[in-house]
Amino acid sequence: MDFPVVAVLAATLTIATPLVFGALGALLGERTGVLNLGIEGTLYAGAFIGFLVAARTGSLALATLAAVVAGALAGALMALLAVTLGVNQHVAGIGITLLLVAACDFTNRQLFGGGQQTVTEKFGRLFAGGGIVAQYPMTFVAFLVLAPAVWWVLRSTGAGLRLTAVGENPEAADTAGISVARTRWTALVVGGALMGLGGSFLTLSVLGTFTLDIVSGRGWICIALVIFGRWKVVPVVLGALLFGLFDALQLQLAITPAFGSIPNELLIALPYLVVIAALAVRGRGVRYPGAYLTAYRRA
C-alpha cells in the first residue's frame, strides 16, 4: 500500500496550529497560577468573530484582528472574575465557555440562520505544492514566531521571571514589588488573544466558513497538553504535534479502503484516546505551579 506520508505530516502541522495557539495561551495564564477553562469558548468566539467580520467586511486582516480582540476580551473577563473578584477558577472558566459558545450560536442563528451556508474569504496556503511546508501563514506564525517567542520570554526576560514567580509564590512576587493582579491580568489577556487567534485559524484559514461545534473540544485538549507538557513550551508544542499526528492519521485511515471496516467514530476518537493515554503516563507525579487555582489576597 502506498501511504501518503507527506500529506499526513503536512496535515499534522495544520491540525496542530490552533492547538499551539490555544495551549500556549493557556500556558501563559497557568504559569501565573490561573487555569483558564474559558479556553473552549474563547476558541469558539475567535472562530465565530473572525468569520463574522470576514463575512461582513471581506477583510481577512480586520477579521483576524477582531478575533484577537475578542479573545483578549474573553481573557479580560476571566481575569475580572478569577483575579479581581477571586471567583473559583473552575466555575469562572466553565461559565465563560458556556456563555461564549451560547452567544456565538445565538448570533450565528440570528445573522446566518436559514438560507445558504455563508462562505468567506480565507487565507491561502504559502508554498502551495511544496509538500510539508505548504501551509497557511498562521502555521508559520505558530511554530516559527509564537513558540520561540514564548519560550524566549519565559526563559530570558524579566516578564518571564515575573510570570513564574507569581504562579509559584505570589507572596514572594508581591514582596518583590511585582503586582500579582497586573501580572495575571496581562497573562490572561495575552493568553486570551492567542486563543482567539487560534480559533480564527479554523474559520479563516481551514474552512472559510463557520459551523456549529467547530472547535469540538480542542480547548480541552489544550488544557491537557499544558499539563502533559508540564508548563514548558517545547513539550507542549511536541504534544500538540502528537495530537495532530494522530488526528491526521485517523483522517487518512478513514479514506484508506483497507481500513474501511473500522467504524469512523472509533477513528475520530483515536487522537483523544492518545492524549488521555499520554496524560495517564506523563501526568503522574506532576509538580503543579505552587499557586495553581489560588486567588491571591494580601493577608
Partner 1 sequence: MAAARSGDVSSLRAAPLVELRGITKRFGSLLANDAIDLSVDAGQVLALLGENGAGKSTLTRILYGLSRADAGEIRIAGKPVTMTSPADALAAGIGMVTQEFTLVGPMTVTENLMLAGSPLGRVDRKAARARVLAASERLGVPVDPDAVVERLSVGERQRVEILKALLGDCRLLVLDEPTAVLVPADVDLLFASIRRLTAEGMAVVFISHKLHEVVDLADRIGVLRRGRLVADLPAEGLDPVAIAALMVGAAGPADADLPDDVVDEALATAVGLDGAAPSTQAGPVDQGRPAALQVTGLSLAGDPRPRLDDVSLTVRAGEIVGVAGVSGNGQTELVAALCGTTPVTTGTVRVGDAEVTGLDVAARLRAGLGRLTEDRRGSVVLGMSVEQNLVLEDLDRFRTGPFLSRRRVRAHAEALIERFDIRAAPGDPIRSLSGGNMQKVLLARALERDPTVLVASQPTRGLDVGACQYVYAQLRALRDAGSGVLLVSEDLDELIGIADRIVVLSGGRLVGEVAAADATREALGVLMTGSREHAA
Instruction: Output b/e per residue, 115-131; b: 16+ Cβ within 10 A.
Output: eeebebebbebeeeeee
- Residue 234: burial class (beta carbons within 10 Å; 0-12, 13-18, 19+): exposed
Q: Which stretch binds partner 1 (CB under 8 A): 44-52, 56-64, 160-168, 254-262?
A: 160-168
**Nearer Cβ to partner 1, position 176 or 266?**
176
Amino acid making up residue 192: G
Establish if 164 lies at the interface with partner 1 (CB under 8 A).
yes
**Quick check: 84 binds partner 1 (CB under 8 A)?**
no
Is residue 235 near partner 1 by the rule CB under 8 A? Answer: no
For partner 1, give the closer residue by CB, 40 or 168. 168
Contact between 16 and partner 1 (CB under 8 A)?
no
177 binds partner 1 (CB under 8 A): yes
Contact, 28 vs 187, CB < 8 A? yes
From the list 6-14, 52-60, 136-144, 164-172, the region that binds partner 1 by CB under 8 A is: 164-172
For cell 476571566, what's the residue? 78
Of 124, 121, 128, 104, nearest to 208 (Cα)?
121
Per the CB < 8 A criterion, the answer to whether 131 and 10 are in contact is yes
Quick one: which of 59, 88, 157, 264 contacts partner 1 (CB under 8 A)? 157
- Compute the distance between CA of residue 176 and CA of residue 170 in angstroms, rounded to an integer: 10
Residue 126 vs 176, nearer CB to partner 1: 176
Cα–Cα distance, 262 to 254 (Å, whole number): 8
Position among 176, 234, 273, 277 found at the interface with partner 1 (CB under 8 A): 176
The answer to whether 99 and 41 have CB atoms below 8 angstroms apart is yes
Within 8 A by CB and 6+ apart from 101, the residues are 40, 41, 44
Residues, the chain? 299
- Please write down the HEC assignment for all residues of 251-268: HHHHCCHHHCCCCHHHHH
Residue 175 in the binding site for partner 1 (CB under 8 A): yes
Question: Rounded to the nearest whole angstrom, what is the least distance from the CB of residue 160 to partner 1 in the complex?
Answer: 8
| Mask for 28-57, x = binds partner 1 (CB under 8 A) | ------------------------------
Binder of partner 1 out of 57, 118, 169, 216 (CB under 8 A): 169
Nearer to partner 1, 101 or 173 (CB): 173
Phi, psi of 62, deg, nearest 5:
-60, -40
- The yes or no reply on residue 161 touching partner 1 (CB under 8 A) is yes
Task: Based on the shown chain and the rule CB under 8 A, indicate whether residue 299 belongs to the binding site for partner 1.
Answer: yes
The per-residue DSSP string of 107-122 comes to HHHHHH-SSSPP----
Q: Which stretch binds partner 1 (CB under 8 A): 48-56, 95-103, 157-165, 245-253?
A: 157-165
Per CB under 8 A, which region of 43-51, 142-150, 173-181, 255-263 contacts partner 1?
173-181
Contacts of 249 (CB under 8 A, 6+ apart): 8, 270, 271
Nearest approach in angstroms of CB 178 to partner 1 is: 7
Q: Give the interface with partner 1 as residue ranges (CB under 8 A).
A: 156-159, 161-162, 164-165, 168-169, 171-178, 287, 290, 298-299
